[in-house]
């Protein structure tokens, strides 16, 4: 019966969150049509899977949603977050229009298209679209068989590095950076910005830059206070002080606001005159409401836990975990967060030699509820 209640609660929570997020995902932005008209309104914030194919736009919250395809508009922008422009590229053996994500906009634009591993990035220069091809090629050395010490010698190249050298090779300060360049967002954004800016101020040369903090994998640690109650043996709440670490992975193809978080924490508490060491691994699906500084979030998940003592152990039989909190962005790379977590689970004794009488062991799993207040830092 209790498991059915948990399932019903999860379904209701999922449906409620889905309906709310459907409205929250519309953010302020603008669309530039094929006729160079500018439309201001609300744009649906989708993941990369949909953002490259369609733009969902409406003039206001109560207006009907309009679908814009690459053939209909030139570009669309979610203010301060995402920027896409229409380009015709060769993909799957044919030329087709897609919305390419703008990573850097200036005198030279850096664009991203996630569907092709060999050509994921493009440079747009004077309305010319130049692919940055992630392939190697070799050319014979001009030395030939010098002194007959070897029969042949070849020079190894990465095509996208040669392309960028032809674009910014005049800047000798970038030559060292070009040698260490990698085929990813962070490295190419840095190089493109340095290529654009030169001697001028960044705020005048670079008009848009993708915020990578939202889409990168994050890690951190936290401390907290647990208020835990065993409904069968402990009428009062116990207080424990857990410490933990976590890893967070955003689902950027679906929606970068959604993420998966795995944690590992440790706490200590007493039960039946025994002191238990608890090791737990909470697993959560999270949704974050991005904003400039403060970003509320919520999550739902489960926990795998082990309770250890000198001669007995117990295992979490089942659990439900609900999470609500807020992130505060200290800098482009560091955030503080605080959250409140509710947890309901059953504990099953796993060792019949435990220092517990037989009648207690026969009662089976123990029902425990827990409230947790946490404070942590995320990188």
Write out pLDDT tens, residues 105-121: 998 999 999 988 889 99
d(CA 76, CA 73): 8
Mean pLDDT of the 99-105 span: 96
Query: How many alpha carbons lie under 13 Å from residue 62 in its C-beta half-sphere?
Result: 0
Q: Which residue has the higher pLDDT, 292 or 262?
A: 262
pTM: 0.78
Fold of 218-378: Porin (2.40.160)
E strands, 175-242, are 208-209, 218-230, 238-240
Q: Tokens 């959604």 sit at which residue?
A: 258
Write out pLDDT tens, residues 234-270: 556 678 889 999 999 999 888 888 999 999 999 887 6
Q: Can you give the residue ranges of every domain in the chain?
A: 109-210, 218-378
Which residue, 35, 80, 27, is CA-closest to 55? 27
pLDDT confidence tier of residue 141, bands split at 50, 70 and 90: low
Q: Is the pLDDT of residue 38 over 80?
A: yes
pLDDT confidence tier of residue 36, bands split at 50, 70 and 90: very high
Which of 197-201, 253-257, 297-301 has the largest mean confidence?
297-301
């Amino acid at each position: 019966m209790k498991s059915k209640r948990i399932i019903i609660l999860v379904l209701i929570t999922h449906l409620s969150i889905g309906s709310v997020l459907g409205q929250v995902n519309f953010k302020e932005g603008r669309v530039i049509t094929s006729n160079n008209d500018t439309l201001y309104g609300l744009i649906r914030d989708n993941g990369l899977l949909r953002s490259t194919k369609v733009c969902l736009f409406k003039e206001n919250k109560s207006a009907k949603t309009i679908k814009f395809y690459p053939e209909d508009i030139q570009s669309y922008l979610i203010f301060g977050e995402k920027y896409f422009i229409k380009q015709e590229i060769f993909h799957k053996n044919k030329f087709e229009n897609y919305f390419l994500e703008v990573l850097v906009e200036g005198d030279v634009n850096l664009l991203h298209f996630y569907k092709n591993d060999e050509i994921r990035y493009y440079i747009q220069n004077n309305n010319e679209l130049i692919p940055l091809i992630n392939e190697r090629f070799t050319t014979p050395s001009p030395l030939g068989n010098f002194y007959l010490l070897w029969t042949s010698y070849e020079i190894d190249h990465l095509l996208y590095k040669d392309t960028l050298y032809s674009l910014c090779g005049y800047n000798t300060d970038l030559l060292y950076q070009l040698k260490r360049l990698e085929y990813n967002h962070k490295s190419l954004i840095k190089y493109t910005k340095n290529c654009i800016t030169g001697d001028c101020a960044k705020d005048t040369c670079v008009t848009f830059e993708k915020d990578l903090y939202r889409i990168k994998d994050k890690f951190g640690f936290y401390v907290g206070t647990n208020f835990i109650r065993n409904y069968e043996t402990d009428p009062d709440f116990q207080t424990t002080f857990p410490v933990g670490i976590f890893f967070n992975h955003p689902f950027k193809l679906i929606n970068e606001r959604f993420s998966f978080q795995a944690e590992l924490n440790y706490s200590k508490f007493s039960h039946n005159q025994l002191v238990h060491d608890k090791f737990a691994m909470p697993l959560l699906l999270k949704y974050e409401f991005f904003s400039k500084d403060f970003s509320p979030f919520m999550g739902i998940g489960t926990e795998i836990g082990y309770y250890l003592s000198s001669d007995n152990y117990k295992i979490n039989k089942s659990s439900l975990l609900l999470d609500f909190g807020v992130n505060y962005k200290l800098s482009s790379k560091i955030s503080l967060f605080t959250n409140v977590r509710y947890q309901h689970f059953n504990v099953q004794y796993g060792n019949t030699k435990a220092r517990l009488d037989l009648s207690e062991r026969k009662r089976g799993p123990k029902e425990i509820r827990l409230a947790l207040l946490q404070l942590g830092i995320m990188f």
